[in-house]
Chain A
Amino acid sequence: MRYLKLFTKSFALELSSELAYKTNFVIKSLSLVLGDFISPLLAILIYNTTLGIPGWSLEQFILFQGTLILISGLTHFLLIMIPYKIIDEIREGTFDKYLIKPYNTLLFFSFSSVNIGGLAETFTGIVLVTWSMIKLDLSIFSFNFLVYIFLIIIGFLFAYSLMVLIAALSFLVVKSEALVSLFFRVLDLARYPVQIYGTGFRFFLTFLVPVAVMSTYPASSLVFGLDYKSVIGAIISVSLFLFISVYLWKKAMMKYSSAGG
Protein backbone atom coordinates (compact mmCIF):
# COMPACT_ATOMS: atom_id res chain seq x y z
CA MET A 1 0.00 0.00 0.00
CA ARG A 2 2.70 2.48 0.96
CA TYR A 3 4.50 1.56 -2.23
CA LEU A 4 1.41 2.58 -4.13
CA LYS A 5 1.48 5.92 -2.32
CA LEU A 6 5.16 6.22 -3.17
CA PHE A 7 4.31 5.60 -6.79
CA THR A 8 1.52 8.21 -6.96
CA LYS A 9 3.78 10.75 -5.25
CA SER A 10 6.63 10.10 -7.70
CA PHE A 11 4.21 10.28 -10.59
CA ALA A 12 2.88 13.67 -9.46
CA LEU A 13 6.40 15.00 -8.91
CA GLU A 14 7.59 13.82 -12.29
CA LEU A 15 4.53 15.28 -13.99
CA SER A 16 5.01 18.70 -12.42
CA SER A 17 8.69 18.76 -13.34
CA GLU A 18 7.80 17.86 -16.94
CA LEU A 19 5.14 20.54 -17.04
CA ALA A 20 7.64 23.19 -15.99
CA TYR A 21 8.59 23.39 -19.66
CA LYS A 22 5.24 23.09 -21.37
CA THR A 23 6.38 23.55 -24.97
CA ASN A 24 8.97 20.88 -24.54
CA PHE A 25 6.45 18.59 -22.87
CA VAL A 26 4.02 18.87 -25.77
CA ILE A 27 6.70 18.44 -28.44
CA LYS A 28 8.25 15.57 -26.53
CA SER A 29 4.97 13.68 -26.27
CA LEU A 30 4.30 14.34 -29.95
CA SER A 31 7.75 13.16 -30.93
CA LEU A 32 7.33 9.98 -28.90
CA VAL A 33 4.05 9.20 -30.64
CA LEU A 34 5.58 10.08 -34.01
CA GLY A 35 8.58 7.88 -33.30
CA ASP A 36 6.29 4.97 -32.54
CA PHE A 37 4.34 5.44 -35.73
CA ILE A 38 7.57 4.92 -37.66
CA SER A 39 7.40 1.14 -37.35
CA PRO A 40 3.81 0.72 -38.61
CA LEU A 41 4.78 3.12 -41.40
CA LEU A 42 7.69 0.88 -42.24
CA ALA A 43 5.28 -2.06 -42.21
CA ILE A 44 2.99 -0.33 -44.70
CA LEU A 45 5.93 0.45 -46.98
CA ILE A 46 7.09 -3.15 -46.83
CA TYR A 47 3.62 -4.58 -47.49
CA ASN A 48 3.03 -2.16 -50.36
CA THR A 49 6.14 -3.21 -52.19
CA THR A 50 6.46 -6.89 -51.25
CA LEU A 51 4.33 -9.79 -50.07
CA GLY A 52 5.58 -9.03 -46.61
CA ILE A 53 6.66 -11.24 -43.75
CA PRO A 54 5.70 -14.87 -44.30
CA GLY A 55 2.72 -15.88 -42.19
CA TRP A 56 1.71 -12.37 -41.19
CA SER A 57 -0.71 -10.08 -42.99
CA LEU A 58 -0.29 -6.32 -42.69
CA GLU A 59 -2.99 -6.00 -40.02
CA GLN A 60 -1.59 -8.92 -38.08
CA PHE A 61 1.88 -7.45 -38.27
CA ILE A 62 0.63 -4.07 -37.04
CA LEU A 63 -1.04 -5.85 -34.15
CA PHE A 64 2.35 -7.38 -33.47
CA GLN A 65 4.05 -4.00 -33.55
CA GLY A 66 1.32 -2.39 -31.45
CA THR A 67 1.86 -5.05 -28.81
CA LEU A 68 5.59 -4.42 -28.78
CA ILE A 69 5.03 -0.66 -28.52
CA LEU A 70 2.53 -1.21 -25.73
CA ILE A 71 4.95 -3.30 -23.71
CA SER A 72 7.91 -1.05 -24.34
CA GLY A 73 5.72 1.96 -23.52
CA LEU A 74 4.92 0.41 -20.17
CA THR A 75 8.60 -0.36 -19.76
CA HIS A 76 9.57 3.25 -20.49
CA PHE A 77 6.83 4.52 -18.22
CA LEU A 78 7.51 2.39 -15.17
CA LEU A 79 10.84 0.64 -15.49
CA ILE A 80 13.44 2.32 -17.62
CA MET A 81 14.51 4.87 -15.04
CA ILE A 82 15.26 2.22 -12.40
CA PRO A 83 18.78 1.34 -13.59
CA TYR A 84 19.58 4.92 -14.67
CA LYS A 85 18.61 6.30 -11.26
CA ILE A 86 20.57 3.64 -9.43
CA ILE A 87 23.64 4.13 -11.62
CA ASP A 88 23.52 7.87 -10.93
CA GLU A 89 23.18 7.39 -7.21
CA ILE A 90 26.08 4.94 -7.07
CA ARG A 91 28.29 7.27 -9.04
CA GLU A 92 27.43 10.27 -6.89
CA GLY A 93 27.99 8.20 -3.77
CA THR A 94 24.51 9.01 -2.54
CA PHE A 95 23.12 5.51 -2.81
CA ASP A 96 23.63 4.88 0.92
CA LYS A 97 20.73 7.00 1.98
CA TYR A 98 18.33 4.62 0.26
CA LEU A 99 19.66 1.74 2.30
CA ILE A 100 18.51 3.30 5.56
CA LYS A 101 15.02 4.16 4.33
CA PRO A 102 12.28 2.00 5.86
CA TYR A 103 11.62 0.46 2.45
CA ASN A 104 12.98 -2.47 0.57
CA THR A 105 15.60 -0.74 -1.58
CA LEU A 106 14.73 -2.55 -4.80
CA LEU A 107 11.01 -1.99 -4.35
CA PHE A 108 11.63 1.63 -3.46
CA PHE A 109 13.37 2.23 -6.77
CA SER A 110 10.86 0.09 -8.62
CA PHE A 111 7.97 2.24 -7.48
CA SER A 112 9.60 5.66 -7.53
CA SER A 113 11.15 5.62 -11.02
CA VAL A 114 8.59 7.10 -13.35
CA ASN A 115 9.06 8.48 -16.83
CA ILE A 116 5.94 10.23 -18.08
CA GLY A 117 6.99 10.01 -21.72
CA GLY A 118 6.26 6.29 -21.65
CA LEU A 119 2.57 7.00 -21.29
CA ALA A 120 2.46 8.51 -24.78
CA GLU A 121 3.99 5.32 -26.13
CA THR A 122 1.63 3.07 -24.19
CA PHE A 123 -1.23 5.05 -25.64
CA THR A 124 0.12 4.68 -29.19
CA GLY A 125 0.43 0.95 -28.62
CA ILE A 126 -3.16 0.69 -27.44
CA VAL A 127 -4.36 2.67 -30.48
CA LEU A 128 -2.48 0.38 -32.87
CA VAL A 129 -3.70 -2.80 -31.17
CA THR A 130 -7.29 -1.54 -31.12
CA TRP A 131 -7.15 -0.55 -34.79
CA SER A 132 -5.82 -3.89 -35.92
CA MET A 133 -8.16 -5.85 -33.64
CA ILE A 134 -11.11 -4.10 -35.28
CA LYS A 135 -9.66 -4.75 -38.74
CA LEU A 136 -9.08 -8.41 -37.92
CA ASP A 137 -12.47 -8.73 -36.29
CA LEU A 138 -11.03 -9.96 -32.99
CA SER A 139 -13.14 -9.74 -29.87
CA ILE A 140 -11.89 -8.69 -26.46
CA PHE A 141 -14.40 -11.08 -24.89
CA SER A 142 -12.52 -14.20 -25.75
CA PHE A 143 -10.17 -16.66 -24.17
CA ASN A 144 -7.42 -15.61 -26.57
CA PHE A 145 -7.64 -12.03 -25.42
CA LEU A 146 -7.32 -13.14 -21.81
CA VAL A 147 -4.20 -15.08 -22.70
CA TYR A 148 -2.97 -12.02 -24.57
CA ILE A 149 -3.28 -9.81 -21.48
CA PHE A 150 -1.62 -12.46 -19.37
CA LEU A 151 1.30 -12.70 -21.81
CA ILE A 152 1.68 -8.94 -21.86
CA ILE A 153 2.12 -9.09 -18.10
CA ILE A 154 4.71 -11.83 -18.58
CA GLY A 155 6.51 -9.64 -21.14
CA PHE A 156 6.43 -6.74 -18.72
CA LEU A 157 7.86 -8.94 -15.98
CA PHE A 158 10.66 -9.94 -18.32
CA ALA A 159 11.45 -6.28 -18.96
CA TYR A 160 11.42 -5.72 -15.20
CA SER A 161 13.85 -8.52 -14.56
CA LEU A 162 16.14 -7.12 -17.26
CA MET A 163 16.16 -3.74 -15.53
CA VAL A 164 16.92 -5.36 -12.17
CA LEU A 165 19.68 -7.34 -13.82
CA ILE A 166 21.21 -4.20 -15.30
CA ALA A 167 20.91 -2.42 -11.95
CA ALA A 168 22.57 -5.32 -10.14
CA LEU A 169 25.37 -5.53 -12.69
CA SER A 170 25.99 -1.81 -12.40
CA PHE A 171 27.31 -2.46 -8.88
CA LEU A 172 29.82 -4.89 -10.22
CA VAL A 173 30.81 -3.22 -13.47
CA VAL A 174 31.88 0.40 -13.73
CA LYS A 175 30.89 1.21 -17.30
CA SER A 176 27.29 0.20 -16.93
CA GLU A 177 25.78 2.56 -19.54
CA ALA A 178 27.40 0.43 -22.19
CA LEU A 179 25.65 -2.59 -20.70
CA VAL A 180 22.34 -0.78 -20.92
CA SER A 181 22.86 -0.07 -24.59
CA LEU A 182 23.89 -3.67 -25.22
CA PHE A 183 20.66 -4.90 -23.63
CA PHE A 184 18.60 -2.57 -25.77
CA ARG A 185 20.26 -3.85 -28.89
CA VAL A 186 19.38 -7.38 -27.90
CA LEU A 187 15.80 -6.24 -27.31
CA ASP A 188 15.80 -4.97 -30.89
CA LEU A 189 15.69 -8.61 -31.95
CA ALA A 190 12.07 -8.64 -30.76
CA ARG A 191 11.06 -6.10 -33.39
CA TYR A 192 10.03 -8.75 -35.88
CA PRO A 193 8.25 -12.07 -35.43
CA VAL A 194 10.71 -14.74 -34.31
CA GLN A 195 9.61 -16.87 -37.25
CA ILE A 196 11.94 -14.89 -39.51
CA TYR A 197 15.00 -16.12 -37.64
CA GLY A 198 16.62 -19.51 -38.08
CA THR A 199 15.82 -22.37 -35.70
CA GLY A 200 18.88 -21.94 -33.48
CA PHE A 201 18.31 -18.24 -33.13
CA ARG A 202 14.66 -18.78 -32.39
CA PHE A 203 15.55 -21.12 -29.53
CA PHE A 204 17.91 -18.45 -28.18
CA LEU A 205 15.21 -15.77 -28.31
CA THR A 206 12.57 -17.99 -26.72
CA PHE A 207 14.41 -19.69 -23.90
CA LEU A 208 17.83 -18.19 -23.25
CA VAL A 209 17.10 -14.49 -23.67
CA PRO A 210 13.33 -14.63 -24.01
CA VAL A 211 12.80 -11.31 -25.79
CA ALA A 212 10.13 -13.02 -27.87
CA VAL A 213 7.81 -12.77 -24.86
CA MET A 214 7.68 -9.03 -25.44
CA SER A 215 6.10 -9.25 -28.87
CA THR A 216 5.77 -12.53 -30.72
CA TYR A 217 4.05 -14.59 -28.01
CA PRO A 218 1.29 -12.20 -26.98
CA ALA A 219 0.56 -11.15 -30.56
CA SER A 220 0.52 -14.63 -32.06
CA SER A 221 -1.60 -16.06 -29.26
CA LEU A 222 -4.18 -13.39 -30.00
CA VAL A 223 -4.03 -13.80 -33.77
CA PHE A 224 -3.41 -17.52 -34.20
CA GLY A 225 -4.56 -18.91 -30.87
CA LEU A 226 -2.69 -20.36 -27.95
CA ASP A 227 0.42 -22.44 -28.36
CA TYR A 228 0.73 -24.14 -24.95
CA LYS A 229 4.29 -25.27 -25.37
CA SER A 230 5.73 -21.82 -26.08
CA VAL A 231 3.64 -20.15 -23.39
CA ILE A 232 4.79 -22.57 -20.71
CA GLY A 233 8.35 -22.25 -21.96
CA ALA A 234 8.07 -18.48 -21.78
CA ILE A 235 6.67 -18.55 -18.26
CA ILE A 236 9.45 -20.82 -17.06
CA SER A 237 12.24 -18.82 -18.66
CA VAL A 238 10.88 -15.47 -17.48
CA SER A 239 10.50 -16.73 -13.90
CA LEU A 240 14.03 -18.04 -14.07
CA PHE A 241 15.22 -14.68 -15.36
CA LEU A 242 13.43 -12.84 -12.60
CA PHE A 243 14.82 -15.17 -9.97
CA ILE A 244 18.40 -14.78 -11.20
CA SER A 245 18.07 -10.99 -11.39
CA VAL A 246 16.76 -10.63 -7.86
CA TYR A 247 19.40 -13.03 -6.60
CA LEU A 248 22.14 -10.98 -8.28
CA TRP A 249 20.66 -7.82 -6.83
CA LYS A 250 20.86 -9.30 -3.31
CA LYS A 251 24.45 -10.33 -3.97
CA ALA A 252 25.26 -6.85 -5.20
CA MET A 253 23.70 -5.30 -2.11
CA MET A 254 25.94 -7.37 0.11
CA LYS A 255 29.00 -6.39 -1.88
CA TYR A 256 28.17 -2.69 -1.98
CA SER A 257 30.94 -0.64 -0.37
CA SER A 258 29.66 2.89 -0.97
CA ALA A 259 32.91 3.97 -2.58
CA GLY A 260 31.27 6.13 -5.23
CA GLY A 261 33.34 6.92 -8.28
Chain B
Amino acid sequence: MKNLFYRYLSEIKAGFRISLIYRFNTLVHLLTAPINLVIFYFLWNAIYGYTGQEIIRGFTLPALISYYAVSIIISFLVWADIDEWMEEAVRQGYLVTDLLRPINYIGSNFFFLIGLKLLNLLIQTIPFFIIAVVFFNVKIAGPAYFLLFFVALFMAFVLNFFISFLVGLTAFWLMKIGGIRRMRRIFVFFLSGALIPLSFFPEWFQRISSFLPFEYIRYHVINIYLEKYTFVEVLRVMGIQLVWIVILCLLGILVWRRAYKKFAGAGT
Protein backbone atom coordinates (compact mmCIF):
# COMPACT_ATOMS: atom_id res chain seq x y z
CA MET B 1 0.00 0.00 0.00
CA LYS B 2 2.77 2.37 0.96
CA ASN B 3 4.64 1.31 -2.12
CA LEU B 4 1.62 2.09 -4.27
CA PHE B 5 1.34 5.50 -2.66
CA TYR B 6 4.92 6.34 -3.61
CA ARG B 7 4.43 5.15 -7.16
CA TYR B 8 1.45 7.43 -7.65
CA LEU B 9 3.17 10.27 -5.85
CA SER B 10 5.97 10.03 -8.37
CA GLU B 11 3.40 10.28 -11.16
CA ILE B 12 2.02 13.46 -9.62
CA LYS B 13 5.55 14.86 -9.38
CA ALA B 14 6.24 13.94 -13.00
CA GLY B 15 3.08 15.70 -14.12
CA PHE B 16 3.98 18.75 -12.08
CA ARG B 17 7.45 18.92 -13.62
CA ILE B 18 6.07 18.63 -17.13
CA SER B 19 3.64 21.44 -16.45
CA LEU B 20 6.55 23.56 -15.20
CA ILE B 21 8.14 23.22 -18.64
CA TYR B 22 4.94 24.38 -20.29
CA ARG B 23 4.34 27.18 -17.81
CA PHE B 24 4.67 29.76 -20.58
CA ASN B 25 1.67 28.27 -22.40
CA THR B 26 -0.24 28.16 -19.14
CA LEU B 27 0.44 31.84 -18.62
CA VAL B 28 -0.71 32.69 -22.12
CA HIS B 29 -3.96 30.90 -21.34
CA LEU B 30 -4.27 33.00 -18.24
CA LEU B 31 -3.89 36.16 -20.32
CA THR B 32 -6.26 35.08 -23.08
CA ALA B 33 -9.05 33.59 -20.97
CA PRO B 34 -10.36 37.02 -19.87
CA ILE B 35 -10.93 37.86 -23.57
CA ASN B 36 -13.60 35.16 -23.57
CA LEU B 37 -15.18 36.66 -20.53
CA VAL B 38 -15.12 40.11 -22.14
CA ILE B 39 -16.95 38.72 -25.19
CA PHE B 40 -19.63 37.08 -23.06
CA TYR B 41 -19.95 40.22 -21.00
CA PHE B 42 -20.63 42.46 -24.01
CA LEU B 43 -22.90 39.92 -25.69
CA TRP B 44 -25.15 39.40 -22.69
CA ASN B 45 -25.01 43.01 -21.65
CA ALA B 46 -26.52 43.88 -25.05
CA ILE B 47 -29.09 41.07 -24.86
CA TYR B 48 -30.24 41.87 -21.32
CA GLY B 49 -30.47 45.58 -22.13
CA TYR B 50 -32.48 44.90 -25.28
CA THR B 51 -34.77 42.29 -23.73
CA GLY B 52 -35.48 44.48 -20.71
CA GLN B 53 -35.92 41.60 -18.27
CA GLU B 54 -33.88 41.46 -15.11
CA ILE B 55 -33.92 37.68 -14.79
CA ILE B 56 -33.75 35.43 -17.84
CA ARG B 57 -34.09 31.69 -17.25
CA GLY B 58 -33.07 32.02 -13.64
CA PHE B 59 -30.03 34.21 -14.26
CA THR B 60 -29.49 37.89 -13.63
CA LEU B 61 -26.78 39.50 -15.75
CA PRO B 62 -24.17 39.49 -12.93
CA ALA B 63 -25.03 35.86 -12.10
CA LEU B 64 -24.58 34.91 -15.73
CA ILE B 65 -21.18 36.62 -15.89
CA SER B 66 -20.19 34.72 -12.74
CA TYR B 67 -21.46 31.57 -14.44
CA TYR B 68 -19.07 32.07 -17.35
CA ALA B 69 -16.17 32.97 -15.06
CA VAL B 70 -16.59 29.81 -12.98
CA SER B 71 -17.08 27.87 -16.20
CA ILE B 72 -13.64 29.00 -17.40
CA ILE B 73 -12.13 27.92 -14.08
CA ILE B 74 -13.73 24.51 -14.48
CA SER B 75 -12.27 24.28 -17.97
CA PHE B 76 -8.82 25.05 -16.56
CA LEU B 77 -9.01 22.33 -13.93
CA VAL B 78 -11.22 19.66 -15.42
CA TRP B 79 -9.94 19.63 -18.98
CA ALA B 80 -8.18 16.38 -19.88
CA ASP B 81 -6.56 15.32 -23.13
CA ILE B 82 -5.73 11.75 -22.18
CA ASP B 83 -7.34 10.52 -25.40
CA GLU B 84 -4.74 12.53 -27.30
CA TRP B 85 -1.87 11.02 -25.28
CA MET B 86 -3.30 7.55 -25.76
CA GLU B 87 -3.64 8.00 -29.50
CA GLU B 88 -0.01 9.11 -29.70
CA ALA B 89 1.13 6.23 -27.49
CA VAL B 90 -0.71 3.64 -29.55
CA ARG B 91 0.29 5.02 -32.92
CA GLN B 92 3.92 5.62 -32.07
CA GLY B 93 4.04 2.30 -30.27
CA TYR B 94 5.59 3.64 -27.08
CA LEU B 95 2.63 2.41 -25.14
CA VAL B 96 4.76 -0.72 -24.82
CA THR B 97 7.07 1.03 -22.36
CA ASP B 98 4.08 2.34 -20.43
CA LEU B 99 2.74 -1.17 -20.09
CA LEU B 100 6.06 -2.58 -18.94
CA ARG B 101 6.14 -0.28 -15.94
CA PRO B 102 5.09 -1.85 -12.64
CA ILE B 103 2.20 0.56 -12.27
CA ASN B 104 -1.47 0.51 -13.21
CA TYR B 105 -1.93 2.29 -16.56
CA ILE B 106 -5.21 4.02 -15.70
CA GLY B 107 -3.96 5.04 -12.26
CA SER B 108 -0.69 6.40 -13.53
CA ASN B 109 -2.46 8.55 -16.12
CA PHE B 110 -4.88 9.80 -13.53
CA PHE B 111 -2.22 10.89 -11.06
CA PHE B 112 -0.03 12.29 -13.79
CA LEU B 113 -2.95 14.50 -14.81
CA ILE B 114 -3.43 15.60 -11.22
CA GLY B 115 0.21 16.62 -11.17
CA LEU B 116 -0.32 18.63 -14.33
CA LYS B 117 -3.30 20.43 -12.83
CA LEU B 118 -1.51 21.40 -9.63
CA LEU B 119 0.53 24.09 -11.32
CA ASN B 120 -2.54 25.20 -13.27
CA LEU B 121 -4.26 25.76 -9.97
CA LEU B 122 -1.42 27.96 -8.74
CA ILE B 123 -0.49 30.08 -11.75
CA GLN B 124 -3.70 29.98 -13.78
CA THR B 125 -6.82 29.37 -11.74
CA ILE B 126 -6.07 31.52 -8.72
CA PRO B 127 -4.87 34.56 -10.72
CA PHE B 128 -7.84 34.23 -13.06
CA PHE B 129 -10.18 34.02 -10.10
CA ILE B 130 -8.70 37.23 -8.74
CA ILE B 131 -9.11 38.94 -12.13
CA ALA B 132 -12.71 37.73 -12.29
CA VAL B 133 -13.50 39.01 -8.80
CA VAL B 134 -11.80 42.39 -9.26
CA PHE B 135 -12.77 43.26 -12.85
CA PHE B 136 -15.97 41.32 -13.44
CA ASN B 137 -17.51 41.56 -9.98
CA VAL B 138 -17.73 37.81 -9.64
CA LYS B 139 -18.98 37.15 -6.16
CA ILE B 140 -17.06 34.94 -3.76
CA ALA B 141 -19.15 31.99 -2.61
CA GLY B 142 -19.77 31.39 1.11
CA PRO B 143 -17.28 29.01 2.80
CA ALA B 144 -19.66 26.03 2.91
CA TYR B 145 -20.58 26.32 -0.78
CA PHE B 146 -16.98 27.01 -1.69
CA LEU B 147 -15.98 23.74 -0.09
CA LEU B 148 -18.87 21.83 -1.69
CA PHE B 149 -17.92 23.38 -5.02
CA PHE B 150 -14.41 21.96 -4.71
CA VAL B 151 -15.71 18.49 -3.93
CA ALA B 152 -18.07 18.61 -6.92
CA LEU B 153 -15.25 20.03 -9.05
CA PHE B 154 -13.00 17.12 -8.17
CA MET B 155 -15.75 14.64 -9.02
CA ALA B 156 -16.29 16.45 -12.32
CA PHE B 157 -12.58 16.05 -12.96
CA VAL B 158 -12.75 12.30 -12.36
CA LEU B 159 -15.88 12.01 -14.50
CA ASN B 160 -14.30 13.85 -17.39
CA PHE B 161 -11.13 11.80 -16.99
CA PHE B 162 -13.02 8.59 -17.61
CA ILE B 163 -14.92 9.98 -20.58
CA SER B 164 -11.65 11.07 -22.14
CA PHE B 165 -10.07 7.72 -21.25
CA LEU B 166 -12.90 5.79 -22.93
CA VAL B 167 -12.52 7.89 -26.05
CA GLY B 168 -8.79 7.26 -25.97
CA LEU B 169 -9.39 3.52 -25.88
CA THR B 170 -10.98 3.65 -29.33
CA ALA B 171 -7.45 4.33 -30.64
CA PHE B 172 -6.67 0.64 -30.10
CA TRP B 173 -9.11 -0.23 -32.84
CA LEU B 174 -9.10 2.84 -35.06
CA MET B 175 -5.51 4.08 -34.68
CA LYS B 176 -6.33 7.61 -35.79
CA ILE B 177 -9.03 9.17 -33.63
CA GLY B 178 -8.70 12.91 -34.21
CA GLY B 179 -12.33 13.02 -35.36
CA ILE B 180 -13.74 11.18 -32.36
CA ARG B 181 -11.66 13.31 -30.01
CA ARG B 182 -13.08 16.39 -31.60
CA MET B 183 -16.61 14.99 -31.24
CA ARG B 184 -15.93 14.33 -27.58
CA ARG B 185 -14.73 17.89 -27.05
CA ILE B 186 -17.79 19.36 -28.77
CA PHE B 187 -20.23 17.17 -26.85
CA VAL B 188 -18.66 17.74 -23.47
CA PHE B 189 -18.28 21.45 -24.17
CA PHE B 190 -21.78 22.17 -25.39
CA LEU B 191 -23.81 19.70 -23.33
CA SER B 192 -22.02 20.59 -20.11
CA GLY B 193 -23.25 24.15 -20.53
CA ALA B 194 -20.03 25.92 -21.46
CA LEU B 195 -21.61 28.19 -24.05
CA ILE B 196 -24.94 28.79 -22.40
CA PRO B 197 -26.48 27.50 -19.13
CA LEU B 198 -28.68 24.46 -19.61
CA SER B 199 -31.70 26.35 -18.29
CA PHE B 200 -31.76 28.19 -21.65
CA PHE B 201 -32.39 24.90 -23.44
CA PRO B 202 -35.94 23.72 -24.17
CA GLU B 203 -37.64 21.65 -21.45
CA TRP B 204 -37.56 18.36 -23.40
CA PHE B 205 -33.89 18.75 -24.10
CA GLN B 206 -33.11 19.35 -20.44
CA ARG B 207 -34.93 16.16 -19.55
CA ILE B 208 -32.85 14.12 -22.01
CA SER B 209 -29.68 15.84 -20.88
CA SER B 210 -30.34 14.93 -17.24
CA PHE B 211 -29.83 11.29 -18.20
CA LEU B 212 -26.41 12.07 -19.67
CA PRO B 213 -23.22 12.63 -17.69
CA PHE B 214 -22.14 15.86 -19.37
CA GLU B 215 -24.06 18.42 -17.33
CA TYR B 216 -22.52 17.00 -14.17
CA ILE B 217 -19.11 18.10 -15.42
CA ARG B 218 -19.93 21.78 -15.48
CA TYR B 219 -23.48 23.12 -15.22
CA HIS B 220 -24.39 21.73 -11.80
CA VAL B 221 -20.91 22.37 -10.44
CA ILE B 222 -21.23 26.05 -11.35
CA ASN B 223 -24.71 26.21 -9.84
CA ILE B 224 -23.27 24.89 -6.59
CA TYR B 225 -20.75 27.73 -6.62
CA LEU B 226 -23.53 30.23 -7.33
CA GLU B 227 -25.42 28.84 -4.30
CA LYS B 228 -28.44 27.99 -6.42
CA TYR B 229 -28.95 24.65 -4.70
CA THR B 230 -29.94 23.65 -1.18
CA PHE B 231 -27.68 21.21 0.64
CA VAL B 232 -30.00 18.33 -0.20
CA GLU B 233 -29.86 19.22 -3.88
CA VAL B 234 -26.08 19.46 -3.70
CA LEU B 235 -25.94 15.97 -2.23
CA ARG B 236 -28.18 14.73 -5.01
CA VAL B 237 -25.88 16.20 -7.67
CA MET B 238 -22.87 14.61 -6.02
CA GLY B 239 -24.66 11.28 -5.75
CA ILE B 240 -25.36 11.29 -9.48
CA GLN B 241 -21.76 12.32 -10.17
CA LEU B 242 -20.62 9.34 -8.13
CA VAL B 243 -22.93 6.95 -9.97
CA TRP B 244 -21.60 8.17 -13.31
CA ILE B 245 -18.02 7.82 -12.12
CA VAL B 246 -18.63 4.22 -11.07
CA ILE B 247 -20.37 3.35 -14.35
CA LEU B 248 -17.72 4.96 -16.54
CA CYS B 249 -14.88 3.58 -14.44
CA LEU B 250 -16.19 0.01 -14.72
CA LEU B 251 -16.78 0.47 -18.41
CA GLY B 252 -13.28 1.88 -18.78
CA ILE B 253 -11.69 -1.09 -17.03
CA LEU B 254 -13.71 -3.53 -19.10
CA VAL B 255 -12.83 -1.95 -22.43
CA TRP B 256 -9.23 -1.43 -21.32
CA ARG B 257 -8.83 -5.19 -20.74
CA ARG B 258 -10.07 -5.91 -24.25
CA ALA B 259 -7.87 -3.20 -25.73
CA TYR B 260 -4.89 -4.55 -23.82
CA LYS B 261 -5.37 -7.96 -25.41
CA LYS B 262 -5.79 -6.39 -28.82
CA PHE B 263 -2.68 -4.23 -28.64
CA ALA B 264 0.27 -5.56 -30.60
CA GLY B 265 2.69 -2.68 -30.17
CA ALA B 266 3.40 -2.45 -33.86
CA GLY B 267 2.86 1.27 -34.14
CA THR B 268 2.11 2.62 -37.60
- The interface of chain A, by Cβ under 8 A from chain B, is 21, 23-32, 34-35, 38, 41-42, 45-46, 48-54, 175, 177-178, 181-182, 185-186, 188-189, 191-192, 195-198, 201
CA A182 to CA B35, docked complex, whole Å: 10
- A186 — nearest CB in chain B belongs to which residue? B35
Q: Are A23 and B46 also in contact (CB < 8 A) when A49-B57, A49-B200 are?
A: no
Contact A38 B186 (CB under 8 A): yes
Task: Verify if B39 is at the interface (C-beta below 8 Å from A).
Answer: yes
- The interface of chain B, by Cβ under 8 A from chain A, is 24-25, 28-29, 31-32, 35-36, 38-39, 42-43, 45-53, 56-57, 174-180, 182-183, 186, 190, 195-196, 200-202
Contact B179 A24 (CB under 8 A): yes
Contact A28 B182 (CB under 8 A): yes
**Residues in A neighbouring B178, C-beta threshold 8 A:** 24, 28
Contact B39 A189 (CB under 8 A): yes
CA A188 to CA B45, docked complex, whole Å: 17
The smallest C-beta distance from A260 to any residue of chain B, in angstroms, reads: 19
- B36 — nearest CB in chain A belongs to which residue? A188
- A24 — nearest CB in chain B belongs to which residue? B176
The smallest C-beta distance from A61 to any residue of chain B, in angstroms, reads: 11
Contact B42 A192 (CB under 8 A): yes
Contact A52 B195 (CB under 8 A): no
B43 in complex: contacting residue of A35, A38, A196, CB < 8 Å: A196
Nearest 10 interchain pairs by C-beta? A27-B179, A28-B179, A21-B176, A185-B32, A178-B28, A31-B182, A24-B176, A196-B46, A54-B50, A51-B51
Is chain A's binding surface mostly helix, strand, loop or mixed?
Answer: helix
Contact B196 A42 (CB under 8 A): yes
**Residues in B neighbouring A192, C-beta threshold 8 A:** 39, 42-43
CA A186 to CA B32, docked complex, whole Å: 8
Contact B179 A53 (CB under 8 A): no
Q: A23-B179, A51-B52, A52-B51 are in contact. List 17 more A-B contacts (CB 8 A).
A: A24-B177, A24-B178, A31-B180, A31-B182, A42-B196, A46-B200, A51-B51, A52-B47, A53-B43, A53-B47, A53-B50, A54-B46, A175-B24, A181-B32, A182-B31, A188-B39, A192-B42
**Residues in B neighbouring A175, C-beta threshold 8 A:** 24-25
- B26 — nearest CB in chain A belongs to which residue? A178
The smallest C-beta distance from A45 to any residue of chain B, in angstroms, reads: 5
The smallest C-beta distance from B169 to any residue of chain A, in angstroms, reads: 15
**Residues in A neighbouring B56, C-beta threshold 8 A:** 49-50
- B177 — nearest CB in chain A belongs to which residue? A24
The smallest C-beta distance from A15 to any residue of chain B, in angstroms, reads: 15
The smallest C-beta distance from B72 to any residue of chain A, in angstroms, reads: 12
Contact A178 B25 (CB under 8 A): yes
Q: Are A182 and B174 also in contact (CB < 8 A) when A42-B195, A49-B200, A51-B51 are?
A: no
Contact A54 B179 (CB under 8 A): no
**Residues in B neighbouring A29, C-beta threshold 8 A:** 179
**Residues in A neighbouring B46, C-beta threshold 8 A:** 53-54, 195-196
**Residues in A neighbouring B51, C-beta threshold 8 A:** 50-52
B49 in complex: contacting residue of A45, A46, A54, CB < 8 Å: A54
**Residues in A neighbouring B182, C-beta threshold 8 A:** 28, 31-32, 35
Q: Are A196 and B42 also in contact (CB < 8 A) when A46-B196, A48-B202, A188-B35 are?
A: yes
Contact B24 A178 (CB under 8 A): yes
B47 in complex: contacting residue of A50, A182, A185, CB < 8 Å: A50
Contact A45 B201 (CB under 8 A): yes
CA A196 to CA B41, docked complex, whole Å: 10
**Interface pairs (5), CB distance under 8 Å:** A23-B179, A28-B182, A53-B47, A181-B28, A182-B32
**Residues in B neighbouring A27, C-beta threshold 8 A:** 179-180, 183
**Residues in B neighbouring A45, C-beta threshold 8 A:** 196, 200-201
Contact B179 A185 (CB under 8 A): no
Contact A31 B179 (CB under 8 A): yes
The smallest C-beta distance from B205 to any residue of chain A, in angstroms, reads: 9
**Residues in A neighbouring B190, C-beta threshold 8 A:** 38, 41
**Residues in B neighbouring A181, C-beta threshold 8 A:** 25, 28-29, 32
Contact A52 B50 (CB under 8 A): yes
**Residues in B neighbouring A182, C-beta threshold 8 A:** 28, 31-32
CA A48 to CA B177, docked complex, whole Å: 35
Contact A191 B28 (CB under 8 A): no
- A196 — nearest CB in chain B belongs to which residue? B46
Contact A21 B174 (CB under 8 A): yes
The smallest C-beta distance from B30 to any residue of chain A, in angstroms, reads: 11
**Residues in A neighbouring B38, C-beta threshold 8 A:** 189
**Residues in A neighbouring B39, C-beta threshold 8 A:** 188-189, 191-192
Pick from B24, B32, B201 the residue with the most CB of A within 10 Å.
B32
The smallest C-beta distance from B45 to any residue of chain A, in angstroms, reads: 7
A34 in complex: contacting residue of B24, B175, B183, B195, CB < 8 Å: B183
